[in-house]
C-alpha cells in the first residue's frame, strides 16, 4: 500500500481514530448516559431498559461493547506473526496528518474523543539488566516480547493524540522504523506542547521494556508498539551503560537542548519560571551529570521535586546539598527550609521539630515548631479548630493544613469475605473517627481549567466507561503520586481495584522506604496501570473541591442505612458516627444519595461499584417487587409536579385542591410499601420522605393562607412522618396539649443522628417554626433544641452557617436569624 499521498492517509487516520481517538460531532448530553452506548438517556429510561431483576456485570455489555469484545477475541485467537516493516516516509507522513487532524480540526467540527482499551494493559517488572535486546525487525504482532527490550530513538517530535497518549516515530540502531504509542505518562500529559518537546526532542533515546506489538484493527499494515505503563519506557541519557557499543546506522540530525552544564542550568531556570517542573527537573539533573554547580543544582532540583510532590527525593537532594559542606549560610538555610517542607508534606512532624531546631535564632524555626506541634496534637487527639475550618471552607480551593486523624477503627473481613472498616471500641453518635487529607486529588480548579469533557474512556475487559477526561486525569495524579513513593504504591495496591484485576494486597502493607529517584523520568516502582486505574475508579470521591482519593476512607463499604456520615471540609474528608455503636460493628457510609429509588440505586451501584446492595432498606424495596416500585416512581414524579404547582399557588381553592391531591398521592405511595417489609427496614421508606415534605408544604401553605391552625398541625405531622421514613426515631410526636409528663427534654431518640442530615435539620427547624406560628412556644423551643442538638452532635457547620449565612436556608433567612439568637449556637 502506497501511503505517501494524503488520500491514502485517510484510512490510517480512520484507524488511528478508532484505536485511540474518534473525531466526531456530537449533540449535547443529558443527565445520564448508558455505559458505553454513546447515547444519552434519562435515568428513568435507563431503568426501563435494564432487566427487572438484580443486575450483574454482564448487564453492562451493550451492543457496542459486544462488538468490540468480539473483535478483540477474534484478534486474540490468531497467532503472533511477523509483519512488513513500516517505511519511514509513510510513518512521518501519517504522524503529520494526525497532528493536523487533531490540532487543526475543520471549522465547526466538535471534537469528541474515545479511548478504547481492548486488552488488559501490560506492564513489565523485569529489570533491564535481565532483559536482552531485540530490534524492530524482530517484533511480532499480537505478542508481548517477554524477556526483551527494544532500544530506539525518536525521529520526530511527539504528537499528543488528544486522549491519553503520544504518538511517535522511532527507529532502532539498524535504522528500521516503528510506530509507537506512549500512553498514560502522567508527566507528559501534564506538559504543554513546548515542554513535551523539551522533554522528548528528536533523537531522544528510549528503552522499551518487554514491548507489545499490536495489529491495527482497520489498517492491518500499520502495526504499533504500545507502551501503557510509564515505567516501561526508560529515557536513556548519554551516560547510560546500555548505549555502550551501540552505533546508529541512520543519520539523524539532532539538536540537543544544551551541551554544557551551564546551559542546562539556564534551561532549568527558564523552565522553572514557566512552571514546567518536569523538564526543569531533567535540566537540573543534567547539570549534576555535567558536574556543574552540583550542590546548587541539587537544591534547585529539590525545589522542583517539592512542586511535583516528590517529597522523598526533594528531602534527599536537600540533605545531600546541606551535608556537602560547600554551601554558603544562605544556601544552607534554603536547604533546611526545603527539608522542612518535604518532611512536613510527608507528615513527619517529629522530624520537622528536630530539623527546625537547627535553625535556632531564625524566626522561621519558631513558625515550623508551632505548626508541627499543632499537627502532632491533632493527630493524637482529633481536636481541630472547627469554627476556623468551617469559615475557611467558604473559600474556593480550600485545602486545610491539618494532620490526619484516625480514630478507633480497624480493617477486617466479614464472614462473607467482604473487607470493611470496624470500630475497635464503643463509640457515641457524632464521634469523629476519620479526618484525612487526600492522598492525591484533581482540584476543581484543574477540572475547570481543562474545560474538556469530550473524552469517553471505555475498557472492554472491565466493561466500564467513563464519560470525562477527569477520571483519567485523576489516575494520572495517582501515577505522579507513586512515582517517588514506593510505600504509597504498595498502599494503593492494597485497595480494591475492581473485579477484573488481582485481589488487593493485605491492608495496611508493611512500611517500606523509597530510595530517591535515580532520574526524574524513571519512577521508583513498576506501575501496574490497570490496577491503579481500578483503584482510582472504585475508591475516589467527588466533592466540591474536585475528585479525591483518601486511603483509609477507601476501606468503607456502602449501606443505604449507614452507620457513619462523611463530610468534606475543603478537600479534607471527615467521618462521624451517626449512631451509638458497639465495639466490632461495621462503619458504613452511603455512596450515593440514599433517597433515590431502589432501581436507580441498583443501576448506579452495579455500574460504578459492581455490587448489589443487600442492606435492610434494599431488601425491603426488593421484596416489594418491581411493579410496586414502578408505581412508586411514577407517584414520586407526580408529587414533584404537585410541589411545583403548590409553590406557585396563592388562592385558597387551588391550595385546597393541591393539598388534597398531595395527600391522596402520598397515601397511594404509602400503599406501594409492604408494611411487613418496611418493618424489617426499621420503618425506612426513603423515597417517601420528599413527597411527605411536599405534602407538608402544601398543607402549611394552605393553613397560612386561610389562617387555619389545624392545617399547620397536619403539616407538622407530615413533616414528622417524613423524618420517620428517613429513619429518625421519635419519643414524642404530640402536636398539641401539655407536653407528655416525664418525657425527656428532646422529643427524638438521641442515640442516633438523622442520616439525611441537612434536609432533616431543615425539616426540624421548619417544625419548630410551625409550632411557633401556632403559638406553641414550648414545642417550638423543644424542636429548636433538636436542631441544635443534631448540629452540635454531628458537626459544627450548621452552627456556623446559621450565624454567618442564614440565607443559605432558602425561605428561612429571617427565622434562622432569630434562631441563632435563641439558641446560643
Q: Write down the least CB distance from residue 164 to ligand SAM, Å.
A: 23
Q: Considering the complex, state which of residue 285 and residue 559 has its C-beta at the smaller distance from ligand SAM.
A: 559
Nearer to ligand SAM, 496 or 783 (CB): 496
When binding is defined by CB under 6 A, the residue of 60, 123, 435, 496 that contacts ligand SAM is 496
Write the burial class of residue 410 (CB in 10 Å: 0-12 exposed, 13-18 middle, 19+ buried). Answer: exposed
Q: How near is the Cβ of 506 to ligand SAM at its closest, in Å?
A: 11
183 binds ligand SAM (CB under 6 A): no
Which among 340-348, 416-424, 452-460, 785-793 is the span making contact with ligand SAM, rule CB under 6 A? 416-424
Residue nearest to ligand SAM (CB): 419
Alpha carbon distance 531, 535 (integer Å):
6
Query: What are the distances in angstroms from CA 136 to CA 78, 86, 201?
Result: 21, 10, 21
Contacts of 572 (CB under 8 A, 6+ apart): 399, 400, 402, 435, 436, 437, 438
Residue 387, H or E segment? helix 386-392
Question: Which stretch in 46-54, 102-110, 303-311, 413-421 sits in contact with ligand SAM by CB under 6 A?
Answer: 413-421
Positions 569 through 588 that interact with ligand SAM (CB under 6 A)? none
Among 143, 333, 419, 792, binds ligand SAM (CB under 6 A): 419
Taking the least distance from each CB to ligand SAM, the nearer of 224 and 475 is 475
Instruction: Select the residue interacting with ligand SAM from 290, 305, 609, 789 (CB under 6 A).
Output: 609
Which residues fall within 8 angstroms of residue 286, CB to CB, at 6 or more apart? 237, 258, 261, 264, 268
Is residue 406 helix, strand or coil?
Answer: strand
Cβ proximity to ligand SAM, 466 vs 659, nearer residue: 466
Smallest distance from the beta carbon of 45 to ligand SAM, in angstroms?
A: 25
Distance CA 683, CA 723 (A): 10
User: What character string, x for contact with ligand SAM (CB under 6 A) and - otherwise, covers 732-751?
Assistant: --------------------
Q: Which residues contact 824 (CB under 8 A, 6 or more apart)?
A: none
Question: How many Cα atoms within 13 Å fall on the side-chain side of residue 643?
Answer: 15
Torsion of CA 72, 76, 78, 82, to 10 degrees: 100
- Rounded Cα distance, 493 and 87, in Å: 42
Residue from the set 56, 396, 418, 445 that interacts with ligand SAM by CB under 6 A: 418
C-alpha cell at 64: 457496542
CB-nearer residue toward ligand SAM: 278 or 541 = 541
* Residue 610 contacts ligand SAM per CB under 6 A: yes
Q: What is the 3-state secondary structure (H, E, C) of 259-292?
A: CCHHHHHHHHHHHHHCCCHHHHHHHHHHHHHCCC
Phi, psi of 263 (to 5 degrees): -65, -35
Which residue's CB is nearer to ligand SAM, number 148 or number 559? Answer: 559
Q: Does 636 bind ligand SAM (CB under 6 A)?
A: no
Residue pair 793/427 in contact (Cβ under 8 Å)? The answer is: no
Q: Cβ(215)–Cβ(246) under 8 Å?
A: no
Q: Tell me how many residues contact ligand SAM (CB under 6 A).
A: 17
- The verdict on 495 binding ligand SAM (CB under 6 A) reads yes
User: Least distance from C-beta 576 to ligand SAM, angstroms?
Assistant: 18
Helix (H) or strand (E) holding 422: strand 419-423
124, 312, 539, 795: residue in contact with ligand SAM (rule CB under 6 A): 539
Compute the radius of gyration of the chain from its Cα atoms.
31
Contact in structure between 293 and 309 (CB atoms under 8 Å): no
Separation CA 662–CA 666 (nearest Å): 6
Q: For residues 169 and 181, what is the distance between their CA atoms, to the nearest angstrom?
A: 9
508 binding ligand SAM? (CB under 6 A): no
538 binds ligand SAM (CB under 6 A): yes
Q: Given the complex with ligand SAM, which of 130 and 503 has the nearer CB atom?
A: 503
Q: Looking at the chain, how many residues does it have? A: 825
Provide, rounded to whole angstroms, the least separation between the CB of residue 62 and ligand SAM: 21
Find the shortest distance in angstroms from Cβ 614 to ligand SAM. 6
Shortest Å distance, C-beta 419 to ligand SAM: 3
Q: Tell me whether residue 136 or residue 613 sits nearer to ligand SAM (CB atom).
A: 613
Question: Which of 613, 692, 699, 788 forms a contact with ligand SAM (CB under 6 A)?
Answer: 613
Residues forming beta bridges with residue 421, ordered by sequence position? 411, 587
- Establish if 607 lies at the interface with ligand SAM (CB under 6 A): no
Helix axes 626-647, 616-624, angle to 10 degrees: 100
Stretch that binds ligand SAM, among 247-255, 523-531, 608-616, 780-788 (CB under 6 A): 608-616
CB-nearer residue toward ligand SAM: 309 or 420? 420
CB atoms within 10 A of CB 194: 12
Least Å distance, CB 416 to ligand SAM, is 8
Alpha helices in 454-549, H assignment, sequence order: 469-482, 486-493, 529-539
Q: Does 420 bind ligand SAM (CB under 6 A)?
A: yes
Residues 540-559, one symbol each (x = binds ligand SAM by CB under 6 A, - = not), give --------------xx-xxx
Nearer to ligand SAM by Cβ, of 609 and 789: the residue is 609
Does 479 bind ligand SAM (CB under 6 A)? Our answer is no
Contacts of 757 (CB under 8 A, 6+ apart): 565, 790, 794
- Of 135, 116, 147, 153, nearest to 18 by C-alpha is 116
Of the candidate spans 30-38, 52-60, 412-420, 451-459, the one that interacts with ligand SAM by CB under 6 A turns out to be 412-420
Tell the smallest beta-carbon distance from residue 612 to ligand SAM (Å). 7
Footprint of ligand SAM on this chain (CB under 6 A)? 418-420, 495-496, 504, 538-539, 554-555, 557-559, 609-611, 613
Amino acid at each position: 500500500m502506497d501511503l505517501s499521498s494524503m488520500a491514502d492517509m485517510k484510512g490510517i487516520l480512520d484507524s488511528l481514530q478508532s484505536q485511540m481517538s474518534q473525531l466526531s460531532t456530537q449533540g449535547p448530553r443529558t443527565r445520564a448516559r448508558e455505559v458505553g452506548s454513546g447515547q444519552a438517556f434519562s435515568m428513568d429510561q435507563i431503568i426501563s431498559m435494564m432487566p427487572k431483576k438484580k443486575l450483574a456485570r454482564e448487564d453492562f455489555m451493550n451492543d457496542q461493547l459486544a462488538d468490540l469484545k468480539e473483535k478483540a477475541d477474534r484478534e486474540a485467537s490468531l497467532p503472533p506473526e511477523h509483519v512488513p516493516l513500516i517505511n519511514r516516509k509513510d510513518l512521518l507522513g501519517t504522524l503529520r496528518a494526525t497532528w493536523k487532524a487533531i490540532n487543526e480540526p475543520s471549522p465547526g467540527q466538535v471534537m469528541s474523543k474515545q479511548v478504547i482499551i481492548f486488552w488488559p494493559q501490560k506492564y513489565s517488572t523485569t529489570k533491564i539488566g535481565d532483559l536482552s535486546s531485540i530490534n524492530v525487525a524482530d517484533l511480532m504482532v499480537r505478542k508481548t516480547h517477554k524477556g526483551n527490550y527494544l532500544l530506539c530513538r525518536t525521529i520526530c517530535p511527539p504528537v499528543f493524540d488528544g486522549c491519553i497518549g503520544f504518538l511517535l516515530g522511532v527507529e532502532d540502531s539498524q535504522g528500521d522504523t516503528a510506530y509507537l504509542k506512549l500512553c498514560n505518562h502522567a508527566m507528559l500529559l501534564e506538559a504543554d506542547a513546548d515542554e513535551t518537546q523539551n522533554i522528548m526532542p528528536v533523537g531522544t533515546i528510549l528503552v522499551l521494556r518487554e514491548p507489545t506489538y499490536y495489529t491495527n484493527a482497520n489498517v492491518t499494515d500499520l502495526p504499533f508498539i504500545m507502551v501503557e505503563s510509564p515505567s516501561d519506557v526508560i529515557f536513556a541519557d548519554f551516560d547510560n551503560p546500555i548505549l555502550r557499543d551501540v552505533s546508529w546506522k541512520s543519520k539523524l540530525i539532532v539538536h540537543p537542548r544544551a551541551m554544557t552544564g551551564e546551559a542546562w542550568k539556564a534551561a532549568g531556570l527558564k523552565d522553572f519560571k514557566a512552571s514546567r517542573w518536569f523538564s526543569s527537573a531533567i535540566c537540573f539533573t543534567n547539570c549534576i551529570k555535567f558536574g556543574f554547580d552540583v550542590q546548587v543544582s541539587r537544591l534547585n532540583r529539590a525545589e522542583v521535586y517539592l512542586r511535583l510532590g516528590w517529597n522523598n527525593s526533594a528531602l534527599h537532594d536537600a540533605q545531600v546539598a546541606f551535608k556537602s559542606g560547600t554551601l554558603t549560610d544562605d544556601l544552607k538555610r534554603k536547604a533546611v527550609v526545603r527539608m522542612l517542607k518535604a518532611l512536613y508534606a510527608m507528615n513527619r512532624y517529629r522530624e520537622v521539630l528536630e530539623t527546625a531546631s537547627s535553625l535556632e535564632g531564625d524566626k522561621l524555626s519558631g513558625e515550623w515548631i508551632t505548626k508541627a506541634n499543632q499537627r502532632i496534637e491533632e493527630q493524637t487527639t482529633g481536636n481541630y479548630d472547627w469554627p476556623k475550618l468551617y469559615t475557611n471552607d467558604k473559600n474556593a480551593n480550600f485545602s486545610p493544613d491539618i494532620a490526619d486523624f484516625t480514630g478507633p477503627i480497624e480493617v477486617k473481613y466479614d464472614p462473607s469475605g467482604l473487607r470493611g472498616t470496624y470500630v475497635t471500641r464503643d463509640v457515641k453518635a457524632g464521634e469523629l473517627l476519620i479526618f484525612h487529607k487526600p492522598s492525591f486529588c484533581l482540584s476543581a480548579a484543574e477540572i475547570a481549567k481543562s474545560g474538556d469533557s469530550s473524552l469517553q474512556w471505555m475498557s472492554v475487559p472491565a466493561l466500564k466507561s467513563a464519560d470525562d477526561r477527569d477520571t483519567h486525569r485523576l489516575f494520572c495524579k495517582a501515577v505522579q503520586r507513586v512515582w517517588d513513593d514506593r510505600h504509597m504504591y504498595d498502599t494503593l495496591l492494597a485497595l480494591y481495584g475492581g473485579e477484573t484485576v488481582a485481589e488487593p494486597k493485605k491492608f495496611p502493607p508493611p512500611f517500606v522506604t523509597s530510595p530517591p529517584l535515580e532520574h526524574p523520568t524513571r519512577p521508583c516502582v513498576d506501575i501496574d496501570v490497570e490496577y491503579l486505574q481500578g483503584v482510582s475508579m472504585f475508591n475516589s470521591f467527588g466533592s466540591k473541591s474536585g475528585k479525591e482519593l483518601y486511603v483509609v476512607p477507601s476501606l468503607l463499604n456502602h449501606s443505604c442505612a449507614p452507620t457513619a456520615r462523611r463530610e468534606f471540609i475543603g478537600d479534607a474528608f471527615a467521618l462521624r458516627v451517626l449512631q451509638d455503636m458497639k465495639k466490632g460493628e461495621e462503619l458504613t457510609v452511603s455512596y450515593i444519595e440514599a433517597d433515590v429509588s431502589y432501581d436507580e440505586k441498583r443501576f448506579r451501584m452495579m455500574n460504578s461499584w459492581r455490587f448489589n446492595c443487600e442492606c435492610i432498606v434494599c431488601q425491603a424495596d426488593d421484596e416489594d417487587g418491581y411493579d410496586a416500585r414502578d408505581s412508586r416512581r411514577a407517584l414520586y414524579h407526580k408529587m414533584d409536579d404537585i410541589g411545583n404547582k403548590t409553590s406557585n399557588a396563592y388562592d385558597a381553592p387551588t391550595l385546597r385542591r393541591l393539598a388534597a391531591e398531595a395527600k391522596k398521592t402520598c397515601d397511594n405511595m404509602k400503599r406501594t410499601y409492604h408494611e411487613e417489609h418496611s418493618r424489617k427496614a426499621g420503618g425506612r421508606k426513603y423515597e417517601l420522605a420528599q413527597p411527605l415534605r411536599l405534602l407538608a408544604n402544601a398543607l402549611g401553605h394552605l393553613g397560612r393562607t386561610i389562617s387555619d391552625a389545624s392545617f399547620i398541625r397536619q403539616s407538622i405531622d407530615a413533616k414528622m412522618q417524613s423524618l420517620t421514613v428517613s429513619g429518625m426515631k421519635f419519643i414524642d410526636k404530640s402536636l398539641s396539649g401539655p407536653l407528655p409528663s416525664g418525657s425527656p427534654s428532646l422529643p427524638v431518640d438521641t442515640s442516633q443522628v438523622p442520616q439525611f442530615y441537612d434536609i432533616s435539620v431543615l425539616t426540624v427547624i421548619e417544625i419548630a417554626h410551625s409550632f411557633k406560628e401556632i403559638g406553641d412556644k414550648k414545642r417550638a423551643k423543644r424542636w429548636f433544641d433538636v436542631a441544635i442538638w443534631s448540629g452540635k452532635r454531628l458537626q459544627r457547620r450548621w452552627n456556623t452557617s446559621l450565624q454567618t449565612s442564614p440565607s443559605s436556608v432558602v425561605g428561612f433567612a429571617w427565622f434562622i436569624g432569630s434562631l441563632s439568637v435563641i439558641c446560643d449556637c
